[in-house]
Structure 1
Amino acid sequence: MMKGTRTVGKYEVGRTIGEGTFAKVKFARNRETGESVAMKVLVKSAILKRKMVDQIKREISIMKIVRHPNIVRLHEVLASRTKIYIILEFVTGGELLDKIFRQGRLSENDCRRCFQQLIDAVAHCHSKGVYHRDLKPENLLLDLYGNLKVSDFGLSAMPQQGVELLHTTCGTPNYVAPEVLGHKGYNGAAADVWSCGVILFVLMAGYLPFEETNLPSLYNKINAAEFSCPVWFSSGAKSLIHKILDPNPRTRIQIEGIRKDPWFQKNYLPIKHREEEVNLDDVCAVFDDIEEGYVAEQSKNKEGGPLAMNAFEMITLSRGLNLAALFDRRQDYVKQQTRFVSRQPANVIISNIEAVAESMSLKVHSRNYKIRLEGISAGKVGQFAVALEVFEVAPSLFMVDVRKAAGDAVEYHKFYKNLCSKLENIIWKPEGSTLHRTETC
């Protein structure tokens, strides 16, 4: 079997836990402190080819500037000859979107707590002159204690000195403010507030306030702020949401007004944090003088099988030392990072996945116990892609890690459930598992 270890400087690198257009995110561990981190890996040639250097540098600089307990922390930036490594806080509680999928909607008190933390984080960004511009539940993570962490500042903006309006149309359509769609320039703070209002609605309702099958109809609804609150919304929540989802950015409530709102004020404990001195030397070293300061990157592999998962990854995956979470698929089916376990040989697992994927009319790319499945999204508006990787977690026991690589989160959840139902013959459930044969993941 392949017993693989890979290191980048002082970090031991593990499985892929996410991927985007320009980067992959790996689980990693600081060998000096034992701390778990998320390592965002970018290939220099890809960044240069797409002329993304300034954008990536801006994203990293922004994440170092906006240090706050409710914002994912950036620890440091490293570089090898071919790659850039962004070392981030590892947030263990998953995406807020997963919690919404699992529960349908949150209780009003839970919604309020999440919203209070979101507003605190966004207010801190605005105080630093940073506008996120892509606020949505997928970019909101939860830590082990249920505290909210804002992530993904890839579309953030810092207006040039003396310039108050932003002009780039960006963000996810359902969460975008009407003035952003108008191409006439907009205030970044007011646009972020609108997105926060859509998020609050989704938390409380379990569905979007503005949703249509085609973009022109969606834009018309957003421009007219055409939505209605469900009957279970309290009068205080309704009142605040209507003040936020005001299509006129000039009369839309601002963050200070939100903080003074009676519904928002209930059980509100403003978080106390000290301002930290920010040093951007490592960012400059990576992007301005990339010939120096390279970090050592090493891989030690024995060919012949899938990577072995180390103990630190096992513990992180299993939420402490309770290994039941590795096997109880009910805990995982709502996530965009999902997994199942099999006692079949690794090559049998791979061949079964390939056969099922082909039966689902997906294009299959397979190499070194990693598979990428590609197809057209259900709405036929873009690509749908899933990445799978087989790990050895014990002798003759393998874990298949599955994650969304491209496409809609809801579509991914449906795909994963369907995939598991078709692979039921190779998925292993340990003795005493509460899962029944009829249950899917």
Structure 2
Amino acid sequence: MGRMEHSASRRAQGDNLSYFLEDPGTGTLYRRGQLLGKVPLLFLTPALRARDSFCLLVVCLSAILLPQVEREIELHSHLSHQHVVGFHQHFADRENIYMILEYCSHKSLAHILKARKTLTEPEVRYYLRQIIAGLRYLHQQGIIHRDLKLSNFFLTKNMQVKIGDLGLATRDEQAGRRRGVVCGTPNYLAPEAATGQMPPRGVGRAGSIGREWDMRHQL
């Protein structure tokens, strides 16, 4: 990804809109909305009002982060599945890389579990079926997520699960060449992944998530 020489943001003047973000390649204009945690909400603004909503992921340009971000964009931008967060666009300016992603208004399963403390068995089955469907699709595309956890399972307004945050994802063949490299969140690592014996494929982590739900149910 080359560095773009145009500024991707500009201040609005004379109205109540805080500021705009412009894709310098296409001229598409977005209006920044409220924060969802640390992630800004964007609105597509052909008429300067809320139309289509997106989430904006901002990554500062650095020599350390750039290869990882470029890999994430390359992998995520080619994915299209009902249980994977949609990737709409990306662009950059002199300071940041911007990824415009599908808006999941009900946050994540981590938020649901924190608020509810426990889930019923039918709810767990409902969510796990969707997670496994999303994982099956990723594996069919030759992609290993490597950081599956409740906070990376996002929820739409219809309570549909979307697997997101592919920052540690990699191609299956690349993971195979890097045996012994452990990636992910420790509490969600499958045993074979934690020991570096084989690439984590997600099934063990899905089991870890199911066990966490089961433990919460017993408390």
TM-score range, shorter chain: 0.7 to 0.9
Q: Counterpart of 1:148?
A: 161
Structure-2 change in CA distance of 1:205 and 1:182 (3 Å): closer
Radius of gyration: which is bigger?
Answer: 1
Unaligned runs of 5+ in 1: 20-24, 208-229, 233-441
1:28 equivalent to 2:22? Answer: no
Task: Specify the code of the residue in structure 1 equivalent to 2:54.
Answer: V
Between the aligned partners of 1:201 and 1:182, the Cα distance in structure 2 is: 20
Once the two structures are TM-superposed, the CA of residue 43 in structure 1 deviates from its matched residue by 2.1
Once the two structures are TM-superposed, the CA of residue 165 in structure 1 deviates from its matched residue by 6.0
Q: Counterpart of 1:121?
A: 134
Preserved contact between residue 85 and residue 101 of structure 2 (Cα < 8 Å): yes
Q: Counterpart of 1:38?
A: 55
Q: Deviating runs (4+, > 3 A) in structure 1?
A: 159-167
1:201 equivalent to 2:218? Answer: no
Query: Residue deviations 1:113-152, cap 9 Å, x none?
Result: 1000000000100111111111111111111111111111
- Three-state SS of the structure 1 residue aligned to 2:115 is helix
Q: Counterpart of 1:76?
A: 89
Once the two structures are TM-superposed, the CA of residue 158 in structure 1 deviates from its matched residue by 1.0
Q: Counterpart of 2:31?
A: 12
Q: Which of the numbers 196, 199, 210 marks the counterpart of 1:183?
A: 196
Unaligned runs of 5+ in 2: 1-14, 23-28
Between the aligned partners of 2:81 and 2:88, the Cα distance in structure 1 is: 13
Between the aligned partners of 2:176 and 2:183, the Cα distance in structure 1 is: 18
Once the two structures are TM-superposed, the CA of residue 166 in structure 1 deviates from its matched residue by 3.8
Q: CA RMSD in A?
A: 2.3
Between the aligned partners of 2:30 and 2:78, the Cα distance in structure 1 is: 24
- Three-state SS of the structure 2 residue aligned to 1:65 is coil
Q: Counterpart of 1:361?
A: none
Residue-pair matches, total: 196
Q: Counterpart of 2:186?
A: 173
TM normalised by structure 2 equals 0.81
Once the two structures are TM-superposed, the CA of residue 180 in structure 1 deviates from its matched residue by 2.0
Preserved contact between residue 13 and residue 28 of structure 1 (Cα < 8 Å): yes
1:40-55 alignment, distance < 5 Å = 40-44=57-61, 47-48=62-63, 51-55=64-68
Structure-2 change in CA distance of 1:183 and 1:6 (3 Å): same
- Three-state SS of the structure 1 residue aligned to 2:138 is helix
Between the aligned partners of 2:174 and 2:199, the Cα distance in structure 1 is: 14
Task: Specify the code of the residue in structure 2 equivalent to 1:106.
Answer: L
Once the two structures are TM-superposed, the CA of residue 162 in structure 1 deviates from its matched residue by 10
- Three-state SS of the structure 2 residue aligned to 1:200 is helix
Preserved contact between residue 153 and residue 162 of structure 2 (Cα < 8 Å): yes
Query: Residue deviations 1:224-265, cap 9 Å, x none?
Result: xxxxxx5x9xxxxxxxxxxxxxxxxxxxxxxxxxxxxxxxxx
